[in-house]
A and B are shown apart, each in its own frame.
Chain A
Amino acid sequence: MISRVEVHRGRYHDSVRLMQASKALQEVPGVTDALVAMATELNLSLLADMEFDMDEVAGIGPNDLLLAIRAETEEAIEAAHRALDEALTPKVVPSGGLDGPDPKTIGTAARLNGANVALLSVPGEHAFVEAMEALQDGLHVMIFSDNVPIEQEITLKEYGVSRDLLVMGPDCGTTIVNGLGLGFANAVQPGPVSMVGASGTGIQEMCALLDDAGVGVKHALGTGSHDLSEDVGASSTLQALEALDADPETELIVVISKPPAAAVADKVRRVASECATPVVITFMGETTLEEGAGEVLDALGKPRPDYGSWEAPEREHRPGSVRGLFSGGTLRSEARHVAMPYLGPIGTREEDEGHTFIDYGDDEYTQGRAHPMIDQTVRVERLAATAHDETVGVVLMDVVLGYGSNANPAAELAPIVRRVVDSGVAVVVSLCGTRGDPQGRDAQATALNEAGASVYLSNAAAAREAVRLATTRSSS
């Protein structure tokens, strides 16, 4: 039997609380006697009655806390200490009108629910402090915000790597972890494929294509649009690649990026080649997402499908150039990559002549408003304008579904599509979405199709259709 007497000078708790603590201690297995009390005369005599060593308590008084434990083992004594700490420092969150003000920093918010990932969309110039605080608190961080200085991105990512924490972003639109989407993300079925993507819409399109082919997704880790730049050197991409390679449920990894810096692309390829898990690399400018999805399906031994399409009846449309109205930067890049060999130069700015593919998600068009995946005002306006623009013969536009996106984009677009089609312009829609998306993928497709648009699940297929229409004029 081990007896232990301790004195904590000047530590005060009221007697009722201490009686509860004594009771908690006595219930610890292996503890035979326990007393926690302020060292009053009464309690000291109690201690003597319990036959504890009184030498320890010489000279202590009623403002000092007394702890006496008798137990069978040293382990039981330790367990009693833990029980005491628990009894005297309760972490009950009060309720009943006693809630405090809302948390005002990411650190405080995360402590409330024990978060392990911070999702930040504060203005870019303020993102660094919140991100750093989250990392210091041991959280992984997704920075949706853009316009974070590159030095800050580098600092955050170096810090993250040093703590084994993943920094997704800045300018990270999409991440999915075990089916939970952060940012703009599609509802995916669980499956063998995981992604690392420096492009949000790239990830979304890959999810949509694989979903249509019946292949599910485990994780999709966004790394931010600057991750494969020379300066950042694919810091988060390599970190995510390594983590996914170690993930037992990931059978195949897809790396997706807008055109990366050449040296960085080589580095990613080298690391990918060392992974135990097969890796499909889809760098825009070299290939298409549709081709990337095809390689994934090949690797999984699945046939490449004809991706879903809802074609409009063939009709005469007026001659003119293709006007691309995009909300996803990567979808714009892919479409341009597909179309350029056939259409020649394609401008990327509104003031350009001839064929133009514009990314309305670019900063230039989002000043003071939400992203066009949410707020379609600007695109609806530009779409409507094509009805009166005799230089335009074909409109190619994306509609991105999923969590975070506009709740019913077709409802806003369909009447305008109808008007534009009636004016003699052909409209082709690239619909990026999965069957599980909250907007209802097929209902959205049908609504747009009934308004006169041809709708394709594959963005590359939509681009090919736009090319066909522009180069054949009327194709009856």
Chain B
Amino acid sequence: MSDLSQFLDNEPVVATAGTDMLAVSIEQQGSTVSRADWRPPAAGTEDALNVLFSDDRMRDANEVAVGRMLAVRPHLADVKVARDVITGMTDRTFLHAGPPLEWDRASGPMKGAIIGAMLYEGLADDPDDAAARAARGEIELSPCHHHDAVGPMAGVTSPSMPVAVVEDAAGDGVSYSTLNEGLGKVLRYGAFAPEVIDRLRWMDAVLGPVLKAVLASTGPIDLQSLIAQALQMGDDGHNRNRAVTSLFLREIAGALIDGADASVENRRAVFDFINGNDHFMLNLVMAAGKLGSMAASGVPSSSLVTVMARNGTDFGVRLSGTGDRWFIAPAPPVDGLYLGSFTEEDASPDIGDSTITETVGLGGFAMGAAPAIVGFVGGTAAGAVRRTLAMYEITMTEHPMYQVPMLEFRGTPVGIDASRIVRTGVLPQINTGVAGKVPGTGMVGAGLVEAPMECFTQGITALAEVSR
């Protein structure tokens, strides 16, 4: 029986958008109706939307793109030195978070992190010397995202740093991230005091080699499985990584005891370092996310958001169907809670590649799974759940593995659709840390931020151009 004949066989089931009067008149007849709280799309996107909706290309492309994103099986395979594995990395290359950036336009924490990394690499005598050399162009700045890598906050990755190598067990993608230094005064928040540099040196001398040996013993560790479990233990994968870090320690504990060729002191130090840093796994969750993002990139006509990233100055977005183009708007301030006596006056604008977690159904999108951090969303667990629920409007599907217990184990909203963002005005909700704006300060708080609409209106306009 044809669809139309079937339609004529029953009382219709109606959904409405527009005048409420028409919905009311259906209810008057004793039937029910589902109403859309419709609003006009973002100004200037009407023509682009009309183009993108004129056939099935975008819809089909989105199905392909999000399918690829969800098909990856990220495994932590190895720890190597950045210059040895990251394509395009020279001895003068300093990767950074977010879209492309020049030294002159860099924010305080970004400059601080670059200074710290130059001191760590031995390319400068002191902070002033480092700043002067960077300003003269003696180093090359390049976004992590241009090198299959991601970095939290400033995201500065220099040639000597140990990086996690995350491989796709279901494909051939490989992504990279630095190892997490902990909270407080750390390079990624723009701190460059001697203790910061000393820690980085310890990480390349001890942490990296020990983890490498541990992984050689355990074999590749399934990150997605750990993240899925952690979501049922109160993590969001962005602002809370306590559970996944604990799970990771369990995974490696045996090999750390007897599988690594290292001194007892060093093995103990590695254990204490990871155990003492609830965010140790953030970087690995991010690298896992990057792998999905890479797989989903480059599907013509797809409006899937593959990258959201900030460098402290700009917020950048990439869409699957527009390839390597960045759509950029000023990085917004973070609505945050502050440590100690810090206030929003001390805060730098939004920074970091960690928004890769939101692009793969974690972070703000999994807020409903993380009641422990509801302080960021008005303090109620219900508020956190509502935050997750709001994101289903702008996503293509539900994550098959990442689930929210409070939503009866519904999959997290995943596959951000830029066309739905501009249509609805609903912006991606991001959980994030806040860096101090003065170089060298470090972390001052954590909170929430919304991706700027402008990035998505530009993206949708460009996508329509190439789809015409």
Contact = CB atoms under 8 A, between A and B. Distances in A.
A108 interface: yes
Given A126-B46, A130-B38, A104 B4 contact: no
Interface string A118-137: 11111101101110111010
Contacts of B103: none
Interface string B249-265: 00000000000000000
A108 to B, nearest CB: 6
A181 B29 contact: yes
Interface string B407-425: 1111100000000100111
Interface stretch (A5-13, A285-293, A425-433): A5-13
A475 interface: no
A103 interface: yes
A115 B34 contact: yes
B39 A403 contact: no
Nearest to B423: A105
B80 interface: no
B16 A109 contact: yes
Interface in A264-307: none
Interface string B168-179: 010000000000
Interface stretch (A90-98, A200-208, A317-325): A90-98
B407 A108 contact: no
Nearest to A11: B401
B309 to A, nearest CB: 26
Nearest to B20: A121
A144 B18 contact: yes
Interface stretch (A50-58, A239-247, A413-421): A239-247
A144 B15 contact: no
Chain B interface SS verdict (over half): mixed
Interface string B362-393: 00000000000000000000100110011011
B36 to A, nearest CB: 4
B15 A119 contact: yes
A182 B32 CA distance: 12
B90 interface: no
B11 A120 contact: no
Contact of A104 (B3, B15, B23, B38): B38
A97 B326 CA distance: 39
Given A98-B406, A115-B34, A243-B5, A136 B59 contact: yes
B22 A144 contact: yes
Nearest to B56: A136
Interface stretch (B149-157, B226-234, B352-360): B226-234
A126 B36 CA distance: 14
Given A155-B54, A403-B29, A63 B222 contact: yes
A106 B32 contact: no
B17 interface: yes
Given A98-B406, A101-B386, A243-B4, A109 B73 contact: no
A106 B11 contact: no
A14 interface: yes
A105 B228 CA distance: 30
B423 A243 contact: no
A397 interface: no
Interface stretch (A163-171, A388-396, A449-457): A163-171
Between B38, B222, B232, the greatest number of chain A beta carbons within 10 A of the residue's beta carbon is seen for B38
Nearest to B232: A14
Interface string B393-437: 100000001000011111100000000100111100000000000
A126 B425 CA distance: 14
B393 A117 contact: no
Given A105-B17, A120-B18, A98 B389 contact: yes
A404 to B, nearest CB: 4
Interface stretch (A40-48, A172-180, A466-474): A172-180
Contact of A177 (B8, B38, B55): B8
A196 B28 CA distance: 24
Contact of A112 (B8, B34, B169, B406): B34
B225 A178 contact: no
Interface string A360-379: 00000000001000100000
A341 interface: no
A182 to B, nearest CB: 7
Contact of A119 (B10, B16, B28, B426): B16
A194 B410 CA distance: 44
A140 interface: yes
A409 interface: no
A144 B226 CA distance: 50
Given A11-B401, A105-B420, A126-B41, A182 B408 contact: no
B35 A121 contact: no
Contacts of A182: 12, 14, 22, 26
Contacts of A351: none
B53 A128 contact: yes
A21 to B, nearest CB: 11
A440 B395 CA distance: 47
B15 A164 contact: no
Interface residues of A, number: 79
Contact of A178 (B12, B16, B54): B12
B12 A94 contact: no
A400 to B, nearest CB: 13
Contacts of A177: 7-8, 11-12
B13 interface: yes
Contact of B17 (A12, A63, A121, A138): A121
Contacts of B54: 132, 155
A102 interface: yes
A194 to B, nearest CB: 9
Contacts of B33: 113, 119
B450 to A, nearest CB: 14
B409 A105 contact: no
Contacts of B31: 180
A89 B403 CA distance: 10
Nearest to A179: B11
A17 interface: yes
A9 B225 CA distance: 9
Contacts of A138: 3
Contacts of A115: 13-15, 34
Given A101-B393, A104-B38, A164-B2, A109 B406 contact: no
A12 B2 contact: no
Contacts of A159: 55
Q: Name the residue in B7, B23, B390 with the highest tally of chain A Cβ atoms < 10 Å from its Cβ.
A: B7
B34 A94 contact: no
A196 to B, nearest CB: 12
Q: Which of B2, B16, B424 has the most CB of A within 10 A?
A: B16
Contacts of B266: none
Considering residues B19, B40, B424, which has the most beta carbons from chain A within 10 angstroms of its beta carbon?
B19
A190 B26 CA distance: 17
Nearest to A110: B15
Contacts of B11: 177-180
B21 A120 contact: no
Given A106-B38, A121-B17, A129 B22 contact: no
Contacts of B224: 10
19 contacts: A12-B401, A91-B410, A94-B408, A101-B37, A114-B13, A115-B14, A117-B7, A119-B15, A129-B41, A130-B17, A139-B15, A165-B4, A178-B8, A178-B12, A180-B31, A181-B29, A219-B8, A239-B4, A403-B29
Given A89-B409, A103-B393, 12 more contacts: A17-B409, A63-B229, A94-B385, A109-B36, A121-B22, A122-B17, A122-B38, A130-B36, A140-B12, A145-B18, A164-B2, A181-B29
9 nearest A-B pairs in the assembled complex, by CB-CB distance: A100-B389, A121-B18, A115-B15, A109-B36, A113-B34, A110-B15, A102-B37, A63-B225, A403-B25
Interface of A: 9-12, 14, 17, 63-64, 89-92, 94, 97-106, 108-110, 112-123, 125-126, 128-130, 132-134, 136, 138-140, 144-145, 152, 155, 159, 163-166, 177-183, 185, 187, 219, 239, 243-244, 246-247, 370, 374, 403-404, 438
